[in-house]
Structure 1
Amino acid sequence: MVTVNMHDAKTRLSSLVESLELGQESEFILARNGEPVAKLVPFTLPKRIGAARHILAGLDIPKTVEAFNAGDPDVSEDFESSASKPIIP
């Protein structure tokens, strides 16, 4: 952890960011009058692929529309009855 005063950070921002990008430093503490005020760290993208897989893994969710409708007869009836009615705006 390297501490850099605010004036130096403004002057050397590009080189500080490059050090983070290359992995030479993991973070910089920015200080004003010797007191830490901010932390400069590398940006990491949030992981989204499969984010809900572990949440839904324990649930018994139907894989098809037919299986979903078979689970609750009222749902199937509602869809069938609404399909026969005209849509009025």
Structure 2
Amino acid sequence: MESVNMHEAKTRLSELIARAAKGEAFIIAKAGKPVARVTAIDSPEVGQQKRIGFMAGEFKVPDDFDRMAQDEIAMMFGG
């Protein structure tokens, strides 16, 4: 996440807000210390961004998944 100082944030606010609207959050710092995090209103809260395992229990992978269509694939590669 990008961190910008207060003066830079004032200077580039329109650009930074446009990027935040696209999902690129940023932090505003004062004297090198973070004071505010700017994100889009519809972005998930920190810690709620769950990607891995989001479809757990929704489908079952067959036991022979790594062998499915094995003969057809072998034929495609000449053998």
Query: TM-score scaled to structure 1, two decimals?
Result: 0.45
Q: Which has the higher helix share?
A: 1
Which protein has the larger Cα radius of gyration, Structure 1 or Structure 2?
A: 1
Identify the structure with bigger relative contact order (alpha carbons < 8 Å, sequence gap 6+). 2
Query: TM-score scaled to structure 2, two decimals?
Result: 0.50
